[in-house]
Amino acid sequence: MIDFQQVDKHYGHFHVLKDINLHVEEGEVVVVVGPSGSGKSTMLRCINRLETITRGQLTVNGVSINDKKTDINKARRDIGMVFQHFNLYPHKKVIDNITLAPVKVLGVSRAEAEKTAMYYLEKVGIAGKAQAYPSQLSGGQQQRVAIARGLAMKPKIMLFDEPTSALDPEMVGEVLDVMRTLAKEGMTMVVVTHEMGFAREVADRVIFMDQGQIVEEAAPAEFFANPREERTRTFLSRVL
Ligand code: ADP
Ligand code: MG
């Protein structure tokens, strides 16, 4: 579903991603961890070409994402993204935040889009807030709306960039629960997070990044019990 082959990226002279090789299968949940500034967000953003790569091959759902001939808007329909700051439209009701893209981008009828929106709001446990404005919701509720908005486009892949980092601690669990459910249902997911409990419990594979490189990748049991690399051990000793 996602295939990085010898991918490099530079910001000007700064070499932010170094020889990234990463292969994500359909239905797999890959959790990316690593210190701040290690390139996690940049790597995630390359997947939907919010950032362009400077070398290598990146294929997503069979499409070469940096090929000039690729219709990037079409490719992006298959890729949902959830950010640390929920990026909801503040002047639109919850339901309208969710129906906007399906109506505008997919050409779905208003009635159909509302039905789908309610289905996903139900799924993330906040159907009762459909008519509220984002500012009337808690952070955890807003993030669940953002997830429902992503799902309403029926993507094949969901990318999460520190989805719980901006939340008060008591709201982290409700968002992780929604993500756990999605994972169980077979969604292909790449999740950047500092929630090591989630990584241990939900990931099929954990990737550790440092200074623009994938330093280590392993199944979670192996990753947490027997990290092979010194840099991984140092990181884990700081966060666990
Ligand atoms: P992480 O998500 O792991 O914290 P990022 O991918 O956000 O790391 O950033 C990796 C490095 O790239 C950091 O040193 C950051 O300062 C730098 N960086 C990020 N975005 C840009 C940009 N648009 N221009 C220049 N440098 C950037
Ligand atoms: Mg980041």
Residue nearest to atom 5 of ligand 1 (CA): 39
Residue 168: phi and psi, rounded to 5, are -65, 145
Mutate-to-test residue for ligand 1 from 8, 9, 10, 11, highest number of ligand atoms within 8 A of CB:
11
Say if ligand 1 is within 6 A of residue 11 CB.
yes
Question: Which of 26, 7, 33, 80 is closest to 191 using CA atoms?
Answer: 33
Say if ligand 1 is within 6 A of residue 42 CB.
yes
Say if ligand 1 is within 6 A of residue 44 CB.
no
Residue nearest to atom 7 of ligand 1 (CA): 41
Tens digits of per-residue pLDDT, 87-134?
Answer: 999 999 999 999 999 999 999 999 999 999 999 999 999 999 999 999
Calculate the average pLDDT of the chain: 97
Give the number of the ligand closest to the Cα of residue 84.
2
Structure tokens at 128: 């009762």
The answer for 221, left when phi > 0, alpha when psi is -120 to 50, beta otherwise, is alpha
The SS3 call for residue 57 is strand
pLDDT band at 70 (very low <50, low <70, confident <90, very high): very high
CA distance 72 to 94: 27
Please report, rounded to a whole number, the percentage of residues in the chain having pLDDT higher than 90. 100
Contact assessment for residue 58 and residue 47, using Cβ atoms and an 8 Å cutoff: yes
Strand order in the sheet with 55-60: 14-24, 2-11, 55-60, 63-64
H or E stretch covering 232: helix 230-239
Tens digits of per-residue pLDDT, 180-229?
Answer: 999 999 999 999 999 999 999 999 999 999 999 999 999 999 999 999 99
Q: What is the pLDDT of residue 40?
A: 98
Say if ligand 1 is within 6 A of residue 39 CB.
yes
- Predicted complex ipTM: 0.98
